[in-house]
Amino acid sequence: MDFKEYIRVIPDFPQPGIRFKDITTLLKDGKAYQAAIDSLKELVADLKIDVVAGPEARGFVIGAPLALALGVGFVPIRKSGKLPGETIEASYDLEYGKDKLAVHKDAIAPGQRVLIADDLLATGGTIATASQLVRQLGGEIVGAAFLIELGYLDGRAKLTDIETRSLVQY
């Protein structure tokens, strides 16, 4: 399936000059959404994953169904202040703006093999930070999987120590 046909590009959102890749047009199509999750599952089939972790909010939309497809659990990585239990946090720069991510201290057991999943790799800041949190808990990052990779922002340069895979590249 050509997933690009289902992804809508919106110019100047959320800021002038940014060409936002809108995945809601893919998500609302059951066949395309299912096919994307199936393809991501195949893309990571060799990685021996114990658990999938994904950052709020679109990382949930990709990471949770991918976890179920793989038959493993899902760990939400949230914006600061949203998780009810004890957390660890880390700050990072976005393609536009700044943010802080948090994860429950007991979300990942030491030695667990963790796949990080998100909708899109831009500068890599989000996933570098999410990975830092997972490693702080003793998790081993076995890979990062994305629906979309913006090659022109070279997020991979921030993830040189992570096996990075994507379905669709721009």
Q: Which is nearer to ligand 5GP, 94 or 109 (CB)?
A: 94
> How far, in Å, CA of 93 to CA of 105, rounded?
23
Active site residue 95: yes
Q: What is the CA angle 30-126-43, rounded to 5?
A: 45
Neighbours of 97 (CB within 10 A): 8
Shortest reach from residue 138's CB to ligand 5GP, in Å: 23
Our finding on whether 23 is near ligand 5GP (CB under 6 A) is yes
Contacts of 16 (CB under 8 A, 6+ apart): none
Q: Which range, of 36-44, 80-88, 107-115, 117-125, touches ligand 5GP by CB under 6 A?
A: 117-125
Figure out which of the listed residues 51, 90, 112, 119 binds ligand 5GP, where binding follows CB under 6 A. 119
Q: What is the DSSP letter of 67?
A: H
Q: Which pair of tokens denotes residue 49?
A: 């994953």
Shortest reach from residue 146's CB to ligand 5GP, in Å: 9
Our finding on whether 94 is near ligand 5GP (CB under 6 A) is yes
Q: Which pair of tokens denotes residue 121?
A: 């790799």
β-pairing verdict for 19-22 and 98-104:
unpaired
Active site residue 156: no
Which of the residues are catalytic? 58, 95
Residues in touch with ligand 5GP (CB under 6 A): 20-21, 23, 55, 58-59, 94-95, 118-126, 155
